[in-house]
């Protein structure tokens, strides 16, 4: 059996163990320490590097989900509230809504970017607000490294007093109209889970515009401990802080982020060169408002046929053929509105363009596949993968 090609495995260099050794030498193992503060500052510098985008205040935490929970708490989301969220996403984008006792409303994707449909979102926000039922917050996800169309949704949220939270867990290094993903609004979240574009072996970050928000988040992330010599508490907090050792890994990873984005984009191009873009295989488009980090190379099978059944069958045949060759590939995220745990939840759906699949997200899920995109992949790996895909779509 040939060596396994994973979807998006960690990619470490010599810098990471050096930073970890520094943490060990200083005995700042956990939780906080100088490496953690440095990681937060280095991320803030990365996000604000253009000098045009104002300040960033970063809070490193144990996961992207934890960062999103803090964002919703700071945004004032409370029991009984409604929170809108992208429908086509990973569940970490919306579980914190339930942590706060609030109810999600899922908004469908658009074909152009696979992200939340801005026209649908704006129309629904206007309608909900007119009926006195505006959500407290909206979580806007940047899928697979491509930013969503932020501005029209941000305008509508501002008009109706809805807090907009940016889920940039998959999109670190991507841009929207020249601005960096993660820094578009008052709160952004990043993830350093094992398969993301950079990893700390598990971790996340809350990015705040405002230093006071970041201070409050650090307070809540460390059990809401008041400043007193004893343990004094006036509110409920969480144990969410990232460890100093994990932050050390993140510092090494961050140094290479730009290089990793370039490499992921080159891998995407390598797939397109080998398989072509159109006909049986169509790749995730890149919207004109930004530059994707191409975290994962994703494609649709038989995207142009009205009925998704053939695309779905091909998708599954390709996935299983890859698995038989010890190559990991995964279907596109299954929309939240189709998840049993969210049965009956309100969904704002577009017409899937007559696909018979209900929503656009459901159609992308049916036909879509994520291909291996790790930055250590070789041209030979790409050849090996594309030979299998070609064989299955031709056969
Ligand atoms: C990975 C991910 C998260 C959650 O991050 P964790 O660090 O795994 O908790 C949230 N949203 C999206 C879109 C993600 O891909």
Ligand 1 contact, 89 CB (< 6 A): yes
Ligand 1 contact, 88 CB (< 6 A): no
Cα–Cα distance for residue pair 66/191, rounded to 1 Å: 10
Please name the fold of domain 15-256.
Answer: 3.40.640
Among the listed residues 86, 220, 221, the one whose alpha carbon sits nearest the alpha carbon of residue 166: 86
Ligand 1 contact, 64 CB (< 6 A): yes
Ligand 1 atom 5 nearest Cα: 64
Report CA 8 to chain centroid distance, whole Å: 14
The residue among 97 and 354 whose pLDDT is bigger is 97
pLDDT of residue 356: 53
- Region 174-195: mean pLDDT is 97
pLDDT of residue 354: 46
Confidence of residue 47 (pLDDT cuts 50, 70, 90): very high
The residue among 114 and 395 whose pLDDT is bigger is 114
Each domain of the chain, given as residue ranges in start order, spans 15-256, 258-394
pLDDT at 281 over 50: yes
Please name the fold of domain 258-394.
Answer: 3.90.1150
* Residues 369, 330 contacting (CB under 8 angstroms): yes
**Burial profile 151-184: b = 16 or more Cβ within 10 angstroms, e = fewer:** eebbebbeeeebbbbbbbbbbbbbbbeebbbbbb
Pocket probe for ligand 1: among 87, 92, 142, 145, the residue whose CB has the most ligand atoms within 8 Å is: 92
Ligand 1 atom 11 nearest Cα: 93
pLDDT at 51 over 90: no
pLDDT at 193 over 70: yes
- Region 89-98: mean pLDDT is 98
Ligand 1 contact, 156 CB (< 6 A): no
Tell how far the Cα of 194 is from the centroid of ligand 1, in angstroms: 10
* pLDDT, tens digit, 9 for 90 and up, residues 336-352: 999 999 999 999 997 65
Cα–Cα distance for residue pair 15/250, rounded to 1 Å: 10
pLDDT at 20 over 90: yes
pLDDT of residue 124: 96
Tell how far the Cα of 121 is from the centroid of ligand 1, in angstroms: 22
pLDDT at 245 over 50: yes
- Region 315-344: mean pLDDT is 97
* pLDDT, tens digit, 9 for 90 and up, residues 132-158: 999 999 999 999 999 999 999 999 999
| Range of lowest pLDDT (254-258, 284-288, 320-324, 348-352) | 348-352
pLDDT of residue 351: 64
- Region 211-230: mean pLDDT is 96
SS3 of residue 368 by DSSP: strand
- Region 163-170: mean pLDDT is 98
Cα–Cα distance for residue pair 343/341, rounded to 1 Å: 6
Confidence of residue 50 (pLDDT cuts 50, 70, 90): confident
Atom of ligand 1 nearest to the CA of 202: 7
Could you give the percent of the chain with pLDDT greater than 70?
Answer: 98
Ligand 1 contact, 167 CB (< 6 A): yes
């Amino acid at each position: 059996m040939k060596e396994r090609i994973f979807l998006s495995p960690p990619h470490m260099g010599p810098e990471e163990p050096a930073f970890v050794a520094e943490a060990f030498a200083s005995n700042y193992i956990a939780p906080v320490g100088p490496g953690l503060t440095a990681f937060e500052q280095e991320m803030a510098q990365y996000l604000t590097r253009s000098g045009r985008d104002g300040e960033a205040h970063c809070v490193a935490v144990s996961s992207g989900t934890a960062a999103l929970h803090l964002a919703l708490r700071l945004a004032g989301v409370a029991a009984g509230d409604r929170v809108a969220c992208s429908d086509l996403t990973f569940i970490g984008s919306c579980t914190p809504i339930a942590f706060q006792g609030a109810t999600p409303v899922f908004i469908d994707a658009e074909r152009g970017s696979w992200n939340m449909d801005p026209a649908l979102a704006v129309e629904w926000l206007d309608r909900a607000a007119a009926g006195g039922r505006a959500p407290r917050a909206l979580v806007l996800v940047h899928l697979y490294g491509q930013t969503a169309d932020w501005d029209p949704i941000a305008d509508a949220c501002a008009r109706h007093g809805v807090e907009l939270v940016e889920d940039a867990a998959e999109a670190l290094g991507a841009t929207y109209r020249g601005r960096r993903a993660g820094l578009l609004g008052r709160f952004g979240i990043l993830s350093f889970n094992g398969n993301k574009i950079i990893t700390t072996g598990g971790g996340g970050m809350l990015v705040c515009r405002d230093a006071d928000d970041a201070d409050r988040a650090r307070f809540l992330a460390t059990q809401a401990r008041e400043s007193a010599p004893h343990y004094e508490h006036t509110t409920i907090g969480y144990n969410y802080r990232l460890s100093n050792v994990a932050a050390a890994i993140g510092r090494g990873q961050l140094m290479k982020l730009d290089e990793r984005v370039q490499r992921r984009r080159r891998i995407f191009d390598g797939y397109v060169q080998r398989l072509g873009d159109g006909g049986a295989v169509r790749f995730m488009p890149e919207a004109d408002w930004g530059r994707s980090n191409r975290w994962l190379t994703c494609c649709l099978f038989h995207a142009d046929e009205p009925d998704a059944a053939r695309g779905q069958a091909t998708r599954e045949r390709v996935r299983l053929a890859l698995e038989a060759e010890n190559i990991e590939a995964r279907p596109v995220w299954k929309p939240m509105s189709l998840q049993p745990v969210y049965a009956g939840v309100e969904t704002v759906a577009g017409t899937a363009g007559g696909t018979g699949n209900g929503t656009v997200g459901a159609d992308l899920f049916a036909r879509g596949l994520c291909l291996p995109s790790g930055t250590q992949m070789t041209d030979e790996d790409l050849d090996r993968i594309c030979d299998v895909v070609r064989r299955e779509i031709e056969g």
